Amino acid sequence: MKSYIGIDLGGTNVRVAKITEDGKILAQVKGPSYGQEGPAKVMANIKELIREIPEWKECSGMGVGVPGPVNTTAGCMVLSTNLVGFTNYPIADELSKEFGMPAYVDNDANVAGLAEALVGAGKGLKTVFYVTISTGIGGVLVVDGKTVSGKHGFGGEIANIIIDRNREKINYLNVGAIENECSGTAIKRKAEAAIPDKDFPHTGMVFEYAEQGDERAIEIVKGMEKDLGQLFATIACVCDPDIFILGGGMMKSADKFLPGVVENFKAMSHTAVHDTPFVIAGLDEPGIVGAAMLPVSQGK
């Protein structure tokens, strides 16, 4: 069975692993990424970690997941907020030349979705749409085992989709952008403003208070269910996936809001797509496994 190198590169930490084509992690090393110290330091560190992987030369290719949009054709980031100096830096080309094997780069949410599509909940399906709901909201469309990133690397970047123009202006995103209305950060923000007499050490408490009958919390949860239902109905209009796979930290409370999301999805979408399944992501390490799946998706 073929094996691949997966690299999960973040602004703070980096992990490198040797992974089989069916998603089994054979070896893994990790350390600080030095993301604020520039490409020379970051890349030298990654190369050193790769060489710590036992029998890395046996691998058929490597992939890198990074925090930001990527030009997958050029193998570089087009925006590198968390990795100083990496905008347009030729990550894939440098790694390929250094190690003599094909190398690919994609967004970290994209590679997580790719992992779920190839070896997780979407295995064997033609069209998979993966959505992560956590601190922010991200997504990726995977068709025939390949991520659809688009010309500029922004394919699947659903965070800025508007679900209501009559909302509050929060940050650089559009007014009414789904990330500012339904991410974990957004739900916690709304709860702290609407329910000042209660504490919210984490977003999950909003759902707990709703279950306890707090009308203010119930209103926030119902609003979230409606907004996310609209988001998924919009996505279904564009690509009509075989399955929606949901990941991210908010899935810890999925049983408390996902049924309502599906109900709203059906209310706002064509009857033909009402049977689209909504499934919780199941892989333990989708980020690093998905990075290793990048060369797999290219037939390497």
What pLDDT, on a 0 to 100 scale, did the predictor assign at position 68?
Answer: 86
Q: Can you tell me the mean pLDDT for 130-134?
A: 96
Q: Is the pLDDT of residue 129 over 90?
A: yes
Identify whether the C-beta of residue 32 lies closer than 8 Å to the C-beta of residue 14. yes
CB neighbours (10 Å) of residue 172? 8
Region of poorest pLDDT, from 148-162, 189-203, 228-242: 148-162
When pLDDT is cut at 50, 70 and 90, the band that residue 150 belongs to is: confident
- The CA distance from 71 to 85, in Å, is 15
Domains of the chain and CATH, by start: 3-114+285-297 (3.30.420.40), 124-280 (3.30.420.40)
Confidence of residue 152 (pLDDT cuts 50, 70, 90): confident
pLDDT tens-digit map of 158-217: 999 999 999 999 999 999 999 999 999 999 999 999 999 999 999 999 999 999 999 999
90: pLDDT confidence band, cut at 50, 70 and 90?
A: very high
Total residues belonging to the chain: 300
The answer to whether the CB of 16 falls within 8 A of the CB of 285 is: no
What is the pTM assigned to this prediction?
0.93
Give the pLDDT band (50/70/90) at residue 254: very high
Q: Model confidence at 154, in pLDDT bands (50, 70, 90)? A: confident
Please provide the DSSP assignment of the chain as one string. Answer: --EEEEEEE-SSEEEEEEEETTS-EEEEEEEE--TTS-HHHHHHHHHHHHHHSTTGGG-S-EEEEESS-EETTTTEES--TTSTT-BT--HHHHHHHHHTS-EEEEEHHHHHHHHHHHHSTTTT-SEEEEEEESSSEEEEEEETTEE---TTS-TT-GGG-BS-TTS---SSSPTTBHHHHHSHHHHHHHHHHH-TTS--SSTHHHHHHHHTT-HHHHHHHHHHHHHHHHHHHHHHHHH--SEEEEESGGGGGHHHHHHHHHHHHHHTS-GGGTT--EEE---S-HHHHHHHHHHHHTT-
